[in-house]
Homo-oligomer: A and B are copies of this chain.
Amino acid sequence: MSQMVGRQSIVFDKPPHIEAMASIVGKKEGQGPLGHEFDRIVEDPKFGEDNWDAAESKFQNETARLAITKSGLSKEDIRYIFAGDLLGQLIATTFGIAEFEIPLFGLYGACSTMGESISLGAMTIAGGYADYVMAMASSHFASAEKSFRFPLEYSNQRPFSATWTVTGCGAVIIGKNTGIARIDGITTGKIVDFGVKDAMNMGACMAPAAADVIYRNLKDLKVDYDYYDKIITGDLGYVGQTILIDLLKDRGIDISDRHYDCGIEIFDRVEQDTHSGGSGCGCSASVLCSYILKQLESGNWKRILFIPTGALMSPISFNEGQSIPGIAHAVILSSEERKR
């Protein structure tokens, strides 16, 4: 009755459930094709705070609060929070969730963090260690640009391979009761380094890690790609999507008819001038906690593989000439209607 499957996957004997979700995004995300899907759109990029970092903390705070409210629970019912963001030393998370006084496991997986937080949260529920946990991740365009690229005041040119960091946060409450969707299993990614060094082409950095974890998921579960209605990456963008599909074709797998990328879908390529698409932990987190989970809740999709994708770099490693390795963490999500 082992829950370990293959080299990197877990299939839960007693699958945990996503019982509630919340998403709050910024103005630009609200103007995009998925704008009507989110719980709340915040027009002010500083969210009433003094700086971008404090604004991102407020996105986490308000999204966590909303998820708890929608679950019908109180904060005392949530035994652990699994959370992270892109900023150095996770300051958006620290100052965002401190006031809830809930035991915290701080996570860093770059933009794969929502996959990591749901994975550990689901393991915690299925292991009998908690009745309810929260998993969340956030990003903010301005705090990320300032940290990783150029001060916004430079108004520098962005190459077409560049993505636009999503301002937003997504949070789920995971528990034991039937809810929005079921978490059937996970496949945890390893670091994959193809030697790409271009911080303006993160899709190329992350696509090999996404391909690796998708391939490993299919092998571990001994299923074909059509086991999933959709195979959903976090923020590869247009450039990364092409690379992902090519890499999997090299291994005899063609996911082109069912691949969906949150970064591609969250912005309108023509109208919104975001080049390769959206990115950031908040991209996959906010799209999961709105459009994607609604498709599972309604039964439009029966089973999906959700794979947030991360580019592992810091301003220091970049300036020291290091490559940008990728990592991706996959979560198997099913409609509650579907029998196991």
Q: A325: which B residues are within 8 A, CB to CB? A: 94-95, 98
Q: A123: which B residues are within 8 A, CB to CB? A: 123-124, 127, 129
Q: Which of A293-315 contact B (CB under 8 A)?
A: 312-315
Bound CA–CA A106/B108 (angstroms): 5
Q: A104: which B residues are within 8 A, CB to CB? A: 188-191, 327
Q: A103: which B residues are within 8 A, CB to CB? A: 8, 188-190
Tell whether A64 is near chain B: CB-to-CB under 8 Å: no
Contact A80–B130 (Cβ < 8 Å): no
Within 8 Å by CB of A317, from B89, B126, B190, B317, lies B89
Within 8 Å by CB of A108, from B90, B98, B128, B129, lies B90
Tell whether A120 is near chain B: CB-to-CB under 8 Å: yes
Contact B116–A105 (Cβ < 8 Å): yes
Q: A86: which B residues are within 8 A, CB to CB? A: 89
Contact B3–A128 (Cβ < 8 Å): yes
Known: A54-B320, A129-B3. A89 touches B107 (CB 8 A): no
Contact B10–A316 (Cβ < 8 Å): no
Tell whether A176 is near chain B: CB-to-CB under 8 Å: no
Size of the chain A interface, CB-CB below 8 angstroms: 60
Tell whether A109 is near chain B: CB-to-CB under 8 Å: yes
Q: A126: which B residues are within 8 A, CB to CB? A: 127
Q: A94: which B residues are within 8 A, CB to CB? A: 191, 312, 317, 325
Bound CA–CA A8/B104 (angstroms): 10
Bound CA–CA A327/B189 (angstroms): 27
Tell whether A151 is near chain B: CB-to-CB under 8 Å: no
Bound CA–CA A7/B103 (angstroms): 9
Central interface residue in A108, A193, A322, by most chain B CB within 10 Å: A108
Within 8 Å by CB of A322, from B91, B101, B120, lies B91
Q: A320: which B residues are within 8 A, CB to CB? A: 50-51, 53-54
Residue of B nearest to A95 (CB): B322
Bound CA–CA A130/B119 (angstroms): 14
Q: Lowest 8 A-B CB distances belong to which pairs?
A: A88-B88, A127-B127, A89-B314, A103-B188, A98-B191, A94-B312, A91-B317, A88-B314
- Since A4-B79, A87-B88, A105-B120 are in contact, a sample of 19 more A-B pairs with Cβ atoms closer than 8 Å, ordered by chain A residue number, is A4-B128, A7-B79, A8-B103, A50-B320, A51-B320, A88-B147, A89-B313, A91-B314, A94-B325, A95-B317, A97-B191, A98-B325, A104-B191, A105-B107, A105-B116, A106-B108, A120-B120, A123-B129, A127-B127
Of the A-B pairs whose beta carbons lie under 8 Å apart in the complex, a sample of 18, sorted by A's number, is A4-B128, A4-B129, A50-B320, A87-B88, A88-B88, A91-B316, A91-B317, A94-B312, A95-B325, A102-B190, A104-B188, A104-B327, A105-B107, A105-B116, A105-B119, A106-B116, A107-B107, A127-B129
